Amino acid sequence: MTEKPDILRIAIAQLNPTVGDVAGNLELARTARADAARHGADLVVFSELFISGYPPEDLVQKPAFVAACMDAVNTLAEDTSDGGPGVIMGVPWRENEDRSSGLYNAIAVLDGGRITATRYKVDLPNYGVFDEKRVFDAGPLSGPVDFRGVLLGIPICEDIWGELGVCETLAETGAEILIVPNGSPYYRDKMDVRQAVVMKQVVEAGLPLLYNNQAGGQDELVFDGASFVINTDHQLAVQMSQFEEAVTVTTWRRGDQGWYCKEGVMSQIPDGDEADWQACVLGLRDYVNKNGFKNIVLGLSGGIDSAICAAMCVDALGEERVRCVMMPYHYTSRESIKDAEDCARALGVRYEVVPIFEPVEGFQSTLSTLFEGTGSGVTEENLQSRARGVILMAISNKFGSMVVTTGNKSEMSVGYATIYGDMNGGFNPIKDLYKMQVYGLSAWRNKCVPPGCLGPSGEVIPQNIIDKAPTAELREGQLDQDSLPPYPVLDDILESLVENEMSIDDIVARGHEKAVVERIEHLLYVAEYKRRQAPPGVKITKKSFGRERRYPITNRFRDRD
């Protein structure tokens, strides 16, 4: 019989794997294990599907990919023959590589040079950004695993969120500690939700719980880390940092009432504004770096959206990797030209002015016969935006820079963005921020420099940009509120429609005019085709556009009496 220890040191490896980089993720794991060994760890816990990167989506339907992941885990298992820490590793897993068995979202326990146990995720999420039922089979309810005399229950992420009784089963079959590998993406106030879920499981199972979450950006998702431990007395024993990689060793002791974790690192979790900013910056940084772009380019108009995007780009990548281009036309005010220059100077970025008079007038000349007898309007306004888009894409093609787009969620909701114009680009850090959130974060950033951000302190977004009325400057005297409700009103209506799926009557009951709400609902629906063609961007709210909100493009439903 294995001797039961009284002390167990568990390292939480809160790291940033890259989807598909199996060899790179293996090396990350080896480095983390070596670090944990130097600090006396007995066991290293990695996040959900770490070896493949999370979420791997349909990559796991490729047999060669699953085989590569399994081979990497077997290689790591051999490493544990050195007598050092054991490993809990997340991996897509088939019991039979000939595809005669199911494919599971699994963990493998590695110790003594071999795989000593596997466990499979039971509760596969199929909502929001998750599609796991599409690619994985659900595992059975299983008991704990014996790691060096300690019975560990290892539910995987959703297993502690659902109602399938995974933790209850583990407790009833002898588990002494719950260890939960996670791939839990960020949205505002998510930490409070997670800790409430964990507290419920601690209370019901009567066991302490270690929650390890991935850190880093993957396409539109940002995994914020913030791993933690809660003991059976309901007290937080360990709180790791948010939006940062770290390996932290936790110390566990067996007492009269079972296992408990000694108080360890206790990082401060940032408030809402700082967390949103950190998420946007981390998502942008990882998208650029993981996809191999050396630098980025964006149009700097003198408006609030491009200014905040420029600041986020510098915070993510440093001023030397950011290029800003002002592209004035007849309707661009002197104020905007000055504001753009002031913003570029404050951020220290490369800044150039490329007028668009000739290309726009060239398009107008080319189309003059076709357009004869028609009045000037939105078509001519869009020519300006599309000329700017062509210039930015040309710079991208010539110099290998990724174009950052700058449309906010309010604009994307109602279609106030030009397809093949200002929607051109590779990534949008503010895609899931409403206009008023953009203003609030801009004012906040002028007062604060979050940890890990590379930009300067002080006023990086000129106050005049924040104060002036928003305008696209596509015609003389144009203001956004000529054709839209004031942004506080618009954003409340949109949040009610998008995040909360409220009825027209319920939104009207909040104090809005029915005709305005009906118009905004109509604009929201008819802009779906544009959003389908928009670049990806960081998820910040509970319901972002894209994989989390899949509405049909052809859609005649309207919420009417």
Q: Which CATH number characterizes residue 134's domain?
A: 3.60.110.10
Give the model's pLDDT for residue 440.
96
- pLDDT the model gives residue 475: 62
Q: At what angle do helices 272-290 and 435-445 cross, to 10 degrees?
A: 90
Q: Residue 1 pLDDT > 60, yes or no?
A: no
196 shares its domain with 232: yes
The answer to whether position 531 is within a domain reads no
Q: Please give the structure tokens belonging to residue 290.
A: 């993981």
- Active site residue: 3, 4, 27, 48, which one? 48
Is residue 434 within 8 A of residue 485, CB to CB? The reply is: no
528 inside domain: no
In a shared domain, residues 211 and 284: no
Residues 334 and 253 in one domain: no
The better pLDDT of the pair 482, 417 is held by 417
- Lowest mean pLDDT, pick from 131-135, 403-407, 438-442, 535-539: 131-135
Identify whether residues 88 and 226 lie together within a single domain. Answer: yes
Distance CA 260, CA 238 (A): 11
At 26 the pLDDT is 98
Give yes or no for a cis peptide into 55 (omega within 30° of 0).
Answer: yes
Q: Are residues 310 and 182 in the same domain?
A: no
The two counts, helices (H) then strands (E), for the chain are 17, 19
Q: Average pLDDT over the chain, rounded to whole?
A: 93
Domain CATH number, residue 417: 3.40.50.620
3-state secondary structure 130-180: CCHHHHCCCCCCCCCEEECCEEEECCCHHHHCCCCCHHHHHHHCCCCEEEE
Say which of 69, 121, 132, 343 is annotated catalytic: 121
The catalytic residue among 69, 132, 157, 261 is 157
pLDDT tens-place string over residues 349-404: 999 999 999 998 999 999 999 998 898 888 988 999 999 999 999 999 999 999 99
- Asked if residue 96 has pLDDT above 80, the reply is no
Residue that terminates a domain, selected from 426, 442, 477: 477
Active-site residue flag, 48:
yes
Pair (286, 253) in one structural domain: no
Mean pLDDT of all residues in 52-56 = 95
Beta strands in 268-327 (DSSP E): 296-299, 322-326
pLDDT score at 559: 83
Side-chain-side CA neighbours of residue 263 (13 Å): 6
Residues 198 and 300 in one domain: no
- Residue 224: give the domain boundaries: 7-262
Taken in order 131, 215, 153, 34, is the CA torsion positive or negative?
A: positive
User: Is there a single domain that holds both residue 297 and residue 254?
Assistant: no
User: Is 121 an active-site residue?
Assistant: yes
pLDDT in tens, 510-542: 999 999 999 999 999 999 999 999 999 999 998
Span 494-522, mean pLDDT? 94
Residues 332 and 438 in one domain: yes
Q: Examine the domain organization and report whether 238 and 277 are in the same domain.
A: no
Residue 345 lies in a domain: yes
Mean pLDDT of 14-27: 97
- pLDDT above 90 as % of the chain: 82
- Residue located via tokens 């493949």: 52
Residue where one domain finishes, among candidates 211, 234, 262: 262
Which amino acid is it at 113?
G
Rg, the chain, Cα only:
26
Whether residues 256 and 354 share a domain: the answer is: no
Report, as an integer, the average pLDDT of 299-321. 96
pLDDT of residue 130: 87
pLDDT tens figures, 158-203: 999 988 889 999 999 999 999 999 999 999 999 999 999 999 999 9
Residues 249 and 350 grouped into a single domain: no
CA distances 255 to 144, 236, 237, 322, Å, are: 20, 18, 15, 55
Classify residue 243: in a domain, yes or no. yes
Q: What is the pLDDT of residue 477?
A: 67
Q: Does the pLDDT of residue 473 top 60, yes or no? A: no
pTM confidence score: 0.93
Which of 205, 239, 262 is a domain's end point? 262
| pLDDT over threshold 90, residue 432 | yes
Flag whether 546 is in a domain.
Answer: no
Residue 480 is predicted with a pLDDT of 64
The answer to whether 93 and 106 are in contact (CB under 8 A) is yes
How many residues are given for the chain?
A: 561
Tell me what pLDDT residue 4 has: 86
φ and ψ at residue 415, rounded to 5 degrees = 80, 15
pLDDT tens-place string over residues 37-51? 999 999 999 999 999
What angle separates helix 514-526 from helix 487-498, to the nearest 10 degrees?
Answer: 60
For range 487-496, the mean pLDDT: 95
Question: How confident is the model over 328-350, as pLDDT tens digits?
Answer: 998 888 999 999 999 999 999 99
Q: Is 487 a domain residue?
A: no
Q: Is 435 a catalytic residue?
A: no
Which tokens in the block code for residue 552?
């049909």
In a domain, 544, yes or no: no
**Model pLDDT, residue 515:** 94
The answer to whether position 561 is within a domain reads no
Q: Which phi and psi angles does 151 have, rounded to 5°?
A: -90, 115
Q: What is the mean pLDDT of residues 543-560?
A: 86
Domain count of the fold of the chain: 2
Among 277-291, 306-320, 535-549, the range scoring the smallest mean pLDDT is 535-549
The predicted structure's pLDDT at residue 97: 64
Stretch 218-229: mean pLDDT, rounded?
Answer: 96
